[in-house]
Amino acid sequence: MSDDTVDAADPVTAPLFSYALRLGDDALILSQRLSEWASRAPEIEEDIALTNIALDLLGQARALLDYAAVVEGGTRDEDDLAYLRTEREFRNVHLVEQENGDFAHTIARQLFFSTYQLFLYEELISSTDELLAGVAAKGVKEAAYHHDHALQWTVRLGDGTDDSRRRMQAAVDRLWPFTSELFDTDEIEKGLAGQGIAVDPSTLRPRWERAINDALAAATLVLPPTVWTSHGGRRGVHTECFGFLLAEMQYLHRMHPGATW
């Protein structure tokens, strides 16, 4: 889609802007969270691994936010969308903004999200939108590594010592209520999915649940009961920790607007 044919008010391009923004925000915010592990991971190998995963996600976020900016009409760029939006303007799911906690909490969050993203990108490769299909084709290889990394650590911690199993189970219990939102769908996604552009996330849920059940069983962990679920990220309603993350992420850009280096 060329710049001169884009109209954010158009019934196709307006939803496309929203969809690209959602996927981009998921990747951007999780990248920011994972980057907090730099120099703080339990061992040097994991420091490098988590940083590389963060960089993979950042690359996905840049491509998606740049596309969202083009679809919008070119009045903003990827940096504007990342650094100059307010909290209520972000459309990421609650799961990716949750604090790192201990290493087990980071791994549980990675297992839940990377499994979802892997299946999403596998479907999005077939998108009739060339850019989304291209992002998915590259991202699916990265997501497969992210998933494998999280799966191995889930099993290693869950089927390890009494302490590591306790920590891993606590992490699964803590983050489980945030997983349901991954599969929320609305008219934007339904409409774009009907045109072959997007993926209806609700269709991914059965496969995701089977994969997570298998992972937890291999790790001798127990699937927690669903007592409550968290929703609202796609509408710009976020959890308490998100404002602090955003302040740290945007501080330098807002303090020195227009600066280049």
Closest to 135 in 3D by CA, of 31, 255, 27, 51: 27
Q: Which pLDDT value is given to residue 2?
A: 35
Measure Cα distances from 117 to 153, 165, 188, 204 in Å: 18, 25, 19, 10
Q: Cα dihedral angle (211, 212, 217, 220), rounded to 10 degrees?
A: 150
How would you label 97-129 residue by residue, b for 16+ Cβ within 10 Å and e otherwise?
bbeebebbbbbbbbbbbbbbbbbbbbbbbebeb
Domain boundaries along the sequence of the chain: 3-255
How would you label 130-163 residue by residue, b for 16+ Cβ within 10 Å and e otherwise?
ebbeebbeebbebbeebbebbbebbbebbeeeee
Q: Which pLDDT value is given to residue 213?
A: 98
Q: Which pLDDT value is given to residue 10?
A: 54
- Rounded Cα–Cα distance for residues 64 and 127 (Å): 14
**167 vs 11, more confident:** 167
Pick the CATH number of 3-255 from 3.40.50.620, 2.40.440.10, 3.40.720.10, 1.20.1260.10: 1.20.1260.10
Residues 6+ apart with CB under 8 A from 234: 22, 91, 93, 181, 184, 186
- 54, 34 contact by CB (below 8 A): yes
Q: Rounded mean pLDDT of the chain?
A: 94
Q: Which pLDDT value is given to residue 12?
A: 52
pLDDT of 6 over the 50 cut = no
Taking only the tens place, the pLDDT of each residue in 108-126 is: 999 999 999 999 999 999 9
Query: 260 pLDDT band (50/70/90 cuts)?
Result: confident
- 162, 144 contact by CB (below 8 A): no
